[in-house]
Every structure is written in C-alpha cells, then in structure tokens.
Amino acid sequence: MKEKTIKISGPTMNRRQALGFMGAGALALGTTAPGRLFAADDDIIRSHGYSFFGDLQYAKGFSHFNYVNPNAPKGGEVTLSSRGTFDGFNRWAWRGNPETSSSVVAESMFGEMPWGGGLPADSITDAYCLIAREVEYPKDKSWCVFHMRDDVVFRDGSPLRAQDAAFTHNLFLEQGIRSYARSVKERIEAVEVVDDHTLRYKFVDGISRRSLIDQVGGTPIFSEEWYKETGERLDEPSVLSPMASGPYQVGDYEFNRYVVYERNPNYWGWDHPLNAGRHNFDRIRIEYFADDAAEFEAFKAGVYSFRSEGSTKRWATGYDFPAVQKGHVVLEEIPHSNAPTNTGVIFNTSRPPLDNRNIRHALSLAFNFEWTRDSLQFGLTTQRHSFAERQEWEAKGVPEGAELELLRALGDVVPPEVLTEPAVMAHESKPDTPLDRRNKRTALRMLEAEGWSVNDKGEMRDAEGNRLSLDFLVLSTWDDTRQAVIETYANTLRDWGIEVNADKVDSAQGQQRFLDKDYDLIHTRYLTFSSAGTGLFQMFGAETAMVSSYNPGALRSPMVDAIIDKALATQSREEEITALTALDRALRYERVVVPDGFVPAYWIARYDMFDRPETLPPYSLGVLDFWWLNEEKRAALVAAGALR
C-alpha cells in the first residue's frame, strides 16, 4: 500500500511494508471439505506469534511489551498537524487524496502500530497474534492457519469472522494496488474458510516462503457485510471510513481543515496484552494547513500540541518564541539508532537519458552536500552514504567473505566492478560555493562521453541537437529549506547548460504526478529495510517498477532482483544480513538516489503535558502509541492561556 502523501522523513520500513503491501487481483475463496484439515506432520508449530527464525522475544502469556507503561493513564487529546488537503477516508483508493492517517481504523491477525511502525517496537523479526489467538504452520511453511478470537467485533458491534478476513484478502486483490496483486498471485494459492474463526492460507510450491505468514497476518480485515450494504469499493475515493475493528474511529472532521480520531466505544481489545500501555489518548486530532509557515505559526499559538520538527533552519532559529521562553513548550533531541530515511534527489530511471547509470552519476555531482549543510541546514546534518546507514547490513569497502560468495554466485548480472571496488560513497564537494568546479569538470566529461555536450550558446545538447531538459516535481506545501535545496541543485544543473523546470504544484496535482511517475527528478525517499520480504520487490524490483509508488525511481536492475531472490531464500539471520548487505551495495551502485543528509535524533517540540516511558524502544518514538497525557500539566497550561 502506498503512502499517498509525499514526505521526506519518516520511520524505517515497518514489518508489514517489508513483507508486502496492500494491492490488486483475485484469488479463490472457499471452504475446506470435511475431514482432516492439514497434512500429517510431526513438526507442526502452533504459537502465539511468529518469527521466521523461531526466536520470539516474548513468551506465551506475556502481559505487556517491555517498553510500555502498563499503568499509563487513559484520556485526553493530543493534537498534531499536517499540510495539504484531504477529501475522504478510504486510505486504499487509487484516486483522490485520502486523509493520511485513515488506515488506523483497521487491524489484522498480527498486531501493528496503527499510527506507523512495526510491533513490537523493540524487535525487527517478531509478530504477535492480535485478532488471531494462535497461528499454526509446518516447518516448511507451505501453509498457515489462523485460529481467531471469538470476541472480536467491528466498530458497529457486529462480529468479525474468518469470512471477513477472506473477503478482505480477495478485496485487496481485486481492487487494490496492482503491484500487490501480481506479487500475491505468484505466492498464495488459496485462502480457505474452515469455520467462523479459522482461516487457512495455502502457499504456492517452489517459491521462497520466508515472508508469507507475516504478509497474510498483516492484511487489514474489513466487514464483508458493510461492503455489501454500502456498495463501497476499495479502489474508489470515499467520505466513509471502511468498517473495521481498531481502537480508533473517525469522529469529527471538516475536509481540508481537521480530523479527529476518537476511541472506538465498541473496541474489543483493551485487555489484550498487545494493547497494555498503548492507545492512551481518547482523541487524536490532526489540524490541516495550506503551507509550512501557517502550520508553524499555529503551533506557536497553541492550536496543536505536538510537533516533530524536520526543518534544520527552523530547529536552529525558529524556537525562540514566548511559549518556549515561559517553559510551556519543551524542546527535545532524542537520539535514535534507526537507519535514516533514504531521502535525496531521485532520478526517474524510466525516462531517458536518466535510464543511463553514467548520466545519473554525472548529474549527481551537481549536488553539493557540504554547501547545503553549512548554508541551508545550519551544520546540523550528516552525509548519508548508504541505504542502511549505521546498521549491521551497511555495505563497507570491497565485498568479502559470505557477501562476496553470494555476489559471485549471481553470475553475469553483477558487474565486475561491484566485486572488486569499494561500495559507492557520496561524493565530496567544496563548502564555500554551491558550484564545485572540480565536480563540474568531471561531470561534463562524463556527459560528453555519453553524447551530451555544451554548445556555444551554453546549452547542453546531444548529437541530434536535442536539449537536455529535466522536469523536477516540487510541491508547494514543502518547507522553505527543502525547496531551497531543490532550487540550488537545479541552478547548478542550469549552470551546466541543462534546462530544468522546477515550478511548484499543489498537493493534489503533485499526488497524481507522483503516482503516475510524471517527473524526471523528485526530492523524496526510498524506505529503509531491516529484513527480507516480498515488499523489497515493490520497493526495488523491476516487475512492478512502473506501478509501485514505493519505487519512485522506477529502478529496474537484474542484479538487485537477483539479490532480493537470494535474500528471500536465506534460512538464518546471519544469512539474511549478508544478503541485505549485498542489496545495499547494489542499490548504491545503481545511483538512483543522490543522498542528502540526516539527523540521528528525533527533534521534538511539545507543549509540556505529555509523559512517556523512561526508556524508549529502539525502533519507534511511539508518540501516538505509548505516550500519554498528564492531566495536571494540561490544566496548568490551560490556566496559563498557553493552549487554545
């Protein structure tokens, strides 16, 4: 499922994203015949959770995750912000501009963090049963059975059954994103309703099954009866929120201004151990703003209460206002060890001449990180080189040992230099001017070798006289610093004789152009990865490159595809890390992204009325998941006139 907004910051790809995304196509729905359900096998596993490696961190009967406060008070409201517009609440529609958090209403067999991130937030490989009581599967993982709870209800109070889960599975295949349909059809043979609370998935023979149980266990579940009664479609925009079972539901809203998610009064799962210490706010309100400046002024005025800052300029210069001076607003830098988001200038490799790696390499030299850091980002960012920066699977130096063996085994799809040269690193530039003349000379020689040269009018053209012209997709809602980074890069390309259009468009137009890949360049992100799953094909795979919104560069690389295949076949975490290291190396070799900088911390500005566990988990900040409201502090802020 694609993120329907274009952002430059966000969490590492969560488990559901790593394993597979929601999308389109159709599979069989039926019931099993009477008699034995499963093949005889002494190695059948039945468990309260799932890890491909069989090493669940939390034992059966655990009462809560280690990082939460199980006694956290419930109640109150937290208000956040968003930029742009929204016209509905069907997060999975192909068209329109749905509210960015509207998927929070849904749950699946395994638990997730509805506001973003994998659950639990202290493990990469674990998944634990939520709607399912137990998951059952053989050691070869050729099938799985979910034994479901019998007390789960949708928000209208109607029971959630296995039939609803099977219906939703097929709904995503028939009306969801096309890249997902293609992936699922190749891997899942059938879904069978055994009875009202038992669902069986049969997987295709002869393929890697390492992520399939996680994938089907992470599919949201909607009410079949609701879809039949309303005539709603998953692929069409709608003002209605799909009928689901989650702890929050859409409450009050006004299109393009605000939305309030409130506690589901029929929520079945408050006493579930996965939910202990979580979902602590009664209401989560999101205020919408037309632009970055209006959004920040509203925070200063107390219109919303929690802000995760992404602008280096604002963090360095913007937080000297009365609410901070009086102590009403608290500023925090919370270090984290997550891989930074893979942001930067991304080339659309489906468009010539950007389908040429050497040209992408040459154009990347126009980006001056050092000048950008010092002049636009107040020296607060660090250069990113890797798709897995600071992680165990970050490729370093030349390939050695198991990684080298893996790459050699792939044969001719691996260019010889990948085996013998160090992993690609971001280039260096002089910080005193945005135009590094040494890099310009190098780039112009590379471009000339590919048939592009500057004529006596200062225009870069090919031998047929065609002008090198690039269309940069820029959204008007993006903050000033981001737009300045883009304009500086575009001006350097113009200095080289390249024509660049970087006119700003509104969020609705930008959304559609992003989904259609109607651009040459865009400053956005690839998700990071921490495990192997079929979702890697939707992020980086050739087959779905033109339809997957998780692959903004439309990357199509036989080497990358082959490495993902190897990653899906690994049988231990050690082997998986080797394959992910090779993947990082290959992605960097392809030069589809010009990496920019990162900040190894969360920058938080919040009105001083929220508390959180003393020790945060390694993989999530979790503001909307396991923080809570301190009512005494809130009352003091209200009395002081700090909040509206």
- How far is Cα 290 from Cα 297, in angstroms, rounded to an integer? 12
Flag whether pLDDT at 298 surpasses 60.
yes
Task: Choose the weakest-confidence range: 17-26, 58-67, 331-340, 357-366.
Answer: 17-26
Residue 230 has pLDDT above 70, yes or no: yes
pLDDT score at 3 = 30
When pLDDT is averaged across residues 375-390 and rounded to a whole number, the result is 94
DSSP-derived pairing of the beta strands 198-203 and 143-148: antiparallel
Q: Which residues pair with 504 in a beta bridge?
A: 474
pLDDT at position 42 is 56
Kindly report the average pLDDT of the chain as a whole number: 90
C-alpha gyration radius of the chain:
25
As a whole-number percent, the residues of the chain with pLDDT over 90 amount to 76
Q: What mean pLDDT is predicted for residues 56-75? A: 96
10 Å Cβ neighbour count for 574?
A: 10
Dist CA 201 CA 208 (whole Å): 15
| 446: CB partners within 8 A, 6+ apart | 358, 359, 361, 362
pLDDT at 257: 95
Which of 298, 326, 295 has the alpha carbon at shortest distance from 310? 295
Residue 73 backbone zone (phi > 0: left; psi -120 to 50: alpha; other: beta): beta
- Distance CA(389)–CA(412), nearest Å, equals 28
Residue ranges of domains in the chain, CATH in brackets: 12-85+107-233+246-337+600-644 (3.40.190.10), 342-598 (3.10.105.10)
Q: For position 618, what pLDDT does the model report?
A: 87
Q: Provide the CA 227 distance to its chain's centre, in angstroms.
A: 28
Q: How confident is the model at residue 297 (pLDDT cuts 50, 70, 90)?
A: very high
Measured CA to CA, the distance from residue 473 to residue 475 in angstroms comes to 7
243-293 residue pLDDT tens: 999 999 999 999 999 999 999 999 999 999 999 999 999 999 999 998 889
| Helix (H) or strand (E) segment spanning residue 392 | none
The predicted structure's pLDDT at residue 118: 83
* Helix 437-449, helix 357-364: angle, nearest 10: 160
Range 588-603 average pLDDT: 95
Q: What is the mean pLDDT of residues 432-444?
A: 96
Categorize the per-residue pLDDT at 179 as very low, low, confident or very high, splitting at 50, 70 and 90.
low
Average pLDDT for 155-165: 98
Closest Cα partner for 566 from 587, 550, 582, 542? 582
* Residue 52 vs residue 472, higher pLDDT: 472
1: pLDDT strictly greater than 70: no
Neighbours of 134 (CB within 10 A): 17
The average pLDDT across 6-18 equals 36
- Give Cα separations from 237 to 82, 85, 199 (angstroms): 20, 14, 29
Q: Is 120 exposed, middle or buried (0-12, 13-18, 19+ CB in 10 A)?
A: buried
State the pTM of this model. Answer: 0.82
Q: What is the total residue count of the chain? A: 644
Closest of 581, 574, 584, 568 to residue 211, by C-alpha: 568
Dist CA 21 CA 364 (whole Å)? 30
Average pLDDT for 528-536? 86
Looking up tokens 């499963």 gives: 38
Spell out the alpha helix ranges (H) of 272-327.
292-300, 312-317, 322-325
What is the average pLDDT across 75-93?
A: 93
* Cβ contacts of 279 within 8 Å, gap of 6 or more: 247, 248, 263, 625
pLDDT > 70 in the chain, percent: 93
36-40, 149-153, 250-254, 425-429: segment of lowest average pLDDT: 36-40
The letter for the amino acid at 164 is D
- Report residue 36's pLDDT band, with 50, 70 and 90 as the boundaries: very low
DSSP, collapsed to helix, strand or coil, labels residue 405 as helix
Least confident of 178-187, 366-375, 519-528, 607-616: 178-187
Amino acid residing at 519: Y
Provide the pLDDT for residue 41.
Answer: 52
Q: Tens digit of pLDDT for each residue in 420-431?
A: 999 999 999 999
Query: What's phi and psi for 46, nearest 5 deg?
Result: -130, 120
541, 561 in Cβ contact below 8 A? yes
Is residue 183 within 8 A of residue 538, CB to CB? The reply is yes
Alpha-carbon gap, residue 60 to 58, rounded angstroms: 7
Read off the pLDDT band of 125 (50, 70, 90). confident
H, E, C per residue of 57-125: CCCCCCCCCCCCCCCCCCCCEEEEEEECCCCECCCCCCCCCECCCHHHHCCCCECCCCCCCCCCCCCCC
Cβ proximity of 76 and 631 under 8 Å: yes
> How many angstroms separate the CA atoms of 287 and 139, rounded?
48
In this structure, how many other beta carbons lie within 10 angstroms of the beta carbon of residue 404?
A: 16
464: its two tokens = 């047929």
What pLDDT is stored for residue 206 in this prediction?
79
Question: 2 pLDDT exceeds 60?
Answer: no
pLDDT value at 479 more than 90: no
